[in-house]
Amino acid sequence: MALLFGTAGVPKSSPSRDTASGIARVHELGLECMEIEFVRGVRMGMAKAREVRGVAESLGIALSVHAPYYINLNSPDREKLNASVQRILDSARIGSACGARDVVFHPGYYMKSSKENAYARVKEQLGQIVKTLEEESIDATLRPETTGKRSQLGSLEEVLRLSSELERVLPCVDFAHLYARTRGGANSYEAFAEMLAEIEATLGKEALRRMHIHASGINYNKGGERAHLVLRESKFNYRAMLRALKDYGVEGMLICESPNLEEDALLLKREYPLV
């Protein structure tokens, strides 16, 4: 494998908004992967998913899926909790039919819980999800994402701990979110290299060879992430990130979530060999 570059969802320049057209456009642009965004719900059916798989395989485009945004595995409300679990399961089921193994999601909010209690609840729910997927013989890797808002569970430490304590769980490392979460603290080559060293120390070298990464321009306020921006309009040091990824031999997928999607994905792909 290598480090593949792609977009979070269908490229802006795709002539049509459906997933298969998006994959074709990713291929035309010279990008290598795409994350299917189930932002407001998993609305794709099995037949469509198989069609998407065919298109992606024929063009050699790697896929991942992002579960719907509204997920809170620490919700005190039973119904909301069950709906969150279902959203992750459905994303994995349809993703798997699309040929995507990695299922990215935001684990949830601390709410009124202590960080430790929130972690324990999220871990328990994730453990159940892993069990269900195993029973259904779905070969998915669950990827809790490092989150940008300080009210959300999803520090690098939490995501690594979930990954080391549960089978079939590995991190989705969103470096822009970590920059925003630390309110600009994590924004140098040294900071990014330290994160990669921590991943290697916790999960082994193999984890660096199958990474799932998000990057974009971003800004922040007191609570962390404020908005995603175009890379060049943001202070997020993407060149330092790329250099650290290169030095650590990171392989896998790097998904660009900037508002201009493919333009920044192409910028990252172009800069990567030069950093």
Residue nearest Zn ion by beta-carbon distance: 145
Helical (H) or strand (E) element with 152: strand 152-153
Residue 55 or 218 having the CB closest to Zn ion: 218
In angstroms, the CA 91 to CA 105 distance is 9
In angstroms, the CA 272 to CA 81 distance is 40
* Stretch of 82-90, 133-141, 144-152, 247-255 contacting Zn ion, by CB under 5 A: 144-152
**Shortest distance, position 94 Cβ to Zn ion, whole Å:** 17
* Stretch of 28-36, 142-150, 198-206, 230-238 contacting Zn ion, by CB under 5 A: 142-150
Measured over all CA atoms, what is the biggest interatomic distance in the chain, rounded to whole angstroms?
A: 50
**Shortest distance, position 66 Cβ to Zn ion, whole Å:** 6
Do 68 and 39 meet the contact criterion of CB atoms below 8 Å apart? Answer: yes
Q: Which of 157, 165, 148 is nearest to 198 (CA)?
A: 157
Helical (H) or strand (E) element with 4: strand 3-8
Residue 32 or 257 having the CB closest to Zn ion: 257
Q: Which residues contact 204 (CB under 8 A, 6 or more apart)?
A: none
* Stretch of 71-79, 110-118, 140-148, 238-246 contacting Zn ion, by CB under 5 A: 140-148
Residue 39 or 120 having the CB closest to Zn ion: 39
Residue 145 or 262 having the CB closest to Zn ion: 145
**Shortest distance, position 145 Cβ to Zn ion, whole Å:** 5
* Stretch of 47-55, 85-93, 139-147, 260-268 contacting Zn ion, by CB under 5 A: 139-147
Residue 39 or 201 having the CB closest to Zn ion: 39
User: How wide is the angle at C-alpha 57 spanned by C-alphas 86 and 102, nearest 5°?
Assistant: 35
Residue 108 or 243 having the CB closest to Zn ion: 108
* Stretch of 110-118, 141-149, 192-200, 202-210 contacting Zn ion, by CB under 5 A: 141-149
In angstroms, the CA 111 to CA 64 distance is 29
**Shortest distance, position 249 Cβ to Zn ion, whole Å:** 25
* Backbone torsions φ then ψ of 258, nearest 5 degrees: -65, 155
Instruction: Kindly determine how many residues on this chain lie close enough to bind Zn ion according to the rule CB under 5 A.
Output: 1
Helical (H) or strand (E) element with 66: strand 62-66
**Shortest distance, position 6 Cβ to Zn ion, whole Å:** 14
Residues that bind Zn ion in the complex, under the rule CB under 5 A: 145
